[in-house]
Each structure stands twice: as structure tokens, then as C-alpha cells.
Amino acid sequence: MELDELGWDSGFENAWRGLGRHDSEPARVAQSARGILNVLTRGGERPARLAGRLLHDAAGAADLPVVGDWVAVDAAPDGASTVVRARLPRRSRFARKAAGRESVEQVVAANLDTAFLVTGLDHDFNPRRLERYLTLAANGGVTPVVVLNKVDLRPDLDACVRAARAVAPGTAVVAIGARDGIDVDVLARWLGRGRTVALLGSSGAGKSTLVNRLLGEERVATAEVRPHDDRGRHTTTRRELHVLPGGGLLVDTPGLRELQLWAEPERLDGAFPDLARRADDCRFRDCTHRDEPGCAVREAVRAGEVDPERLLSWTKLGRELEWVARRRDRRADREASRRQGREYKRILRAKRERRR
């Protein structure tokens, strides 16, 4: 397998030279779970483990290799695990706030060209949740494509497409039926040799069925959704990078039940470009779009040009991102203080050793 089939290009080649690891070879992470990885190399797929130094030097879990990352690996004897020595800088990523009270980043997948945001046209269809996916894609430098699946379930398909386009202006919106192969071929324009696409969405949205359709075989387990609420259970239990037979790479992910935001507040404009453009015409630069005079955004709402629910979502997500940023900054300050304390203790120990 050639590296360019796995997404390698001149940009990664330059980053590789910067590592200066002449005793290693490049590989791409295909699976990752609790420090145990599978990587793809020129010679094929092989198991791997993280080097102790890599674990020690990582500032947090978000620094460690995930599916889609390019890494430097050492060759290993037959039957032994390959050792991952370093991770190349990421070109893009899809990340969210990790579940729990701590404000830490969880990187779902890295070095993506495109994210298929898959939503089922059943009870899973939720424009507000879609705005959250779009915000995270914009923050990570990933091109989103909204994929409306299960077209056979909605007699009002055109209305759903319009609703999706209203919350994703400038973003491609496609409607398919993965189970029956309806219009799945329209996705081919984002696939191809060396291009990486991730499937993201809730459980039961039909991601596993779509993976099998694109692979041309039943490789991934699927399950029926619950009939009483159209919700699914996790048939995909780990993130995995698949090489497509027609070229390209596909990252399958478990359904994301929680989608807490992890992004810089200014990245919100990437998911709400229509409102951001109108905000440029507000009288006050720091307009909150609540009750200030000369607010171009609220004027657009009054004129019926902007859905008031969209404005409400914009302001709500903005407050959430500001809260996350404050929590993240406080955590960073605490971590910096701990590092300084550990370094101070190390210096004191070294001084005592020299006096002996």
C-alpha cells in the first residue's frame, strides 16, 4: 500500500522531516482504544502501542494519537507490537468537550478532509443539534456535508431539506437512503484516493449501514432502531479507519449521545455565517443582539428574514462557548501552577544531591 493512498502528501512529508526520526517510518492510526492501536503502514496493518516517553510528554489525552493521526513508528520483531514514538501535527480534527465535569478536549478523529454529518429523517432529525455539529466542524477545520438518511421515512422530505439548508447555509446538503442504496452515489464527489471522510451522528442515524454500502460488503454490524422512539444503540463500539475499495478513507465512529461544544467562541461564526454577516451591520461593535438600538440581526428577525429560533440558538451556543473557555483557562492556569511546582521541587532535589 502506498502512503498517498492513506492520505500522505507533501505537507505531511515536510512535517515528517521536521521530526528528524530517521530510524522510524510513518504510519496512520486505524484504530485506537486505551493506548492500544492498530496502524497502517506501507507493509499493511499492524498492532502498536504508545511509547512511554510519548505518554509522559503528552499535556493531556487530546495530545495522544487518535484515529486518523499520522505517527512515527519503530519496526518490531515478528509477533511484537510496533512502538509509536511521536505524532505529527494535525491538519484538522473533530473534537468535543469530554463527558464529565472537567473541561477537557476529546479528539474524535484527526486529519479529516470532510465530515459527513449523518442524521436520520426520523426522530433523530434535529436542526439545533446539527448547528452544534457544524460549530465543531468549523472549529476543527473540517468541511461539513449534511447527510439526511432514511429518505423513505419522510413524506415531507423537501421540507426537511429546506430546514437543513436554513441552518447550514453554504454547506452541501444531500438526502439518501443508505439501506436501499438510494442516491448514495452522490457522496462519491467527496471521496477519492487519499481523501479522508468521517461519519458523525447519533446512534440509529444509519452510519453503519452507510459504511457497509460504501465498502461494498457487510463488514460492520448494524441493528434496527427501537420502534417506540426511533433511537438506536451503539452497533459501532470503536472508531475505525476503513480503506475504501474505490479509493479514499472512511472513519466510522460510535454514535455521539453527548455533543458538548469545544471551540473558540469566535468559531461560532463559521456555523452561523448568515447571522455573522448581519451582525457586521449592527450599530455597536459589541452588540449582544438583545435590546440594543440599531441591531441588524434583530431587524432581520422582525422582517422575517431570520428564524427567531436560529438567533436564540446562536446566542445560547455563544454563552456556552464562553463558559467552556473560562473553565478551560482556569484549568490551564492550575496545570501551569502544578508544572511550576514540580519543576521547583526537581531543582531543589538536584541542589541537595550536589551538596552531598
Domains and CATH numbers, the chain: 3-87 (2.40.50.140), 105-252 (3.40.50.300), 265-356 (1.10.40.50)
- Cβ-based neighbours of 129, under 8 Å, separated by 6 or more: 119, 202, 259
- Distance linking the first and last C-alpha atoms of the chain: 58
Average pLDDT score, the chain: 87
pLDDT of res. 86: 94
Better pLDDT: 79 or 215: 215
- Residue 203: the pLDDT is 85
Spatial contact of 210 and 244, defined as CB atoms under 8 Å apart:
no
Mean pLDDT computed over 180-201: 94
Amino acid identity at 218: E
Separation of CA 131 from chain center = 14
Work out the pLDDT band at 15, boundaries 50, 70, 90: very high
Q: How confident is the model at residue 223 (pLDDT cuts 50, 70, 90)?
A: low
* Class of residue 125 by CB neighbours under 10 A (exposed 0-12, middle 13-18, buried 19+): buried
Distance CA 328, CA 319 (A): 14
pLDDT at 314 over 60: yes
pLDDT in the model for residue 258 = 67
pLDDT at position 197 = 97
pLDDT at 1: 80
Rounded Cα–Cα distance for residues 68 and 89 (Å): 12
Q: Are 118 and 199 in contact (CB under 8 A)?
A: yes
**Residues above pLDDT 70, as percent of the chain:** 88
Share of the chain above pLDDT 90, in %: 57
**CA–CA separation, 2 vs 28, rounded Å?**
12
Go through 301-323 and write b for each residue having 16 or more CB atoms within 10 A of its CB, e for each that does not. beeeebeeebbebbbebbebbee
pLDDT for 127-181, tens place per residue? 999 999 999 999 999 999 999 999 998 889 999 999 999 999 999 999 999 999 9
pLDDT of residue 65 exceeding 60? yes
What are the angstrom distances between the C-alpha of 58 and each of 86, 157, 261, 337?
Answer: 10, 47, 22, 17
70-81 confidence digits (pLDDT tens):
999 997 666 567
Lowest mean pLDDT among 139-143, 192-196, 229-233, 292-296: 229-233
* Dihedral angle sign, alpha carbons of residues 114, 255, 274, 175: positive
27: closest CA among 14, 50, 9, 8? 8
H or E stretch at 272: none
Position 10, amino acid: S
Task: Indicate the pTM of the whole model.
Answer: 0.83
* Model pLDDT, residue 117: 96
Instruction: Evaluate if residue 287 carries a pLDDT over 70.
Output: yes
pLDDT at 322: 86
Region of poorest pLDDT, from 26-40, 43-57, 66-80, 87-101: 66-80
| Overall residue count recorded for the chain in this entry | 356
* pLDDT of res. 78: 61
pLDDT of residue 234: 46
Look at 329 and 225; give whichever has higher pLDDT.
329
Secondary element (H or E) of residue 71: strand 70-74
Q: How far apart are CA 281 and CA 264, in angstroms?
A: 23
pLDDT in tens, 233-273: 445 567 899 999 988 999 998 877 667 887 777 888 889 99
DSSP annotation of 168 = S
What does the alpha-carbon distance between residue 208 and residue 19 come to, in Å, rounded to a whole number? 36
Nearest alpha carbon to residue 263 among 325, 319, 201: 325
Q: Can you read off the three cell numbers belonging to residue 60?
A: 493531556
Which of 78, 30, 86 has the alpha carbon at shortest distance from 55?
Answer: 86
Written as nine digits, the cell of 257 is: 449521545
Query: Residue 174's pLDDT is what?
Result: 97
Alpha helices in 202-307 (DSSP H): 207-215, 268-271, 273-279, 296-302
Q: What is the pLDDT of residue 333?
A: 57
Identify the pLDDT of residue 228: 47
Q: Is the dihedral of CA 118, 123, 127, 131 positive or negative?
A: negative
CA separation, residue 128 to residues 35, 141, 278, 312 (Å): 34, 21, 20, 10
pLDDT at 226: 45
In angstroms, the Cα distances linking 12 to 68, 234, 311 are 13, 33, 40
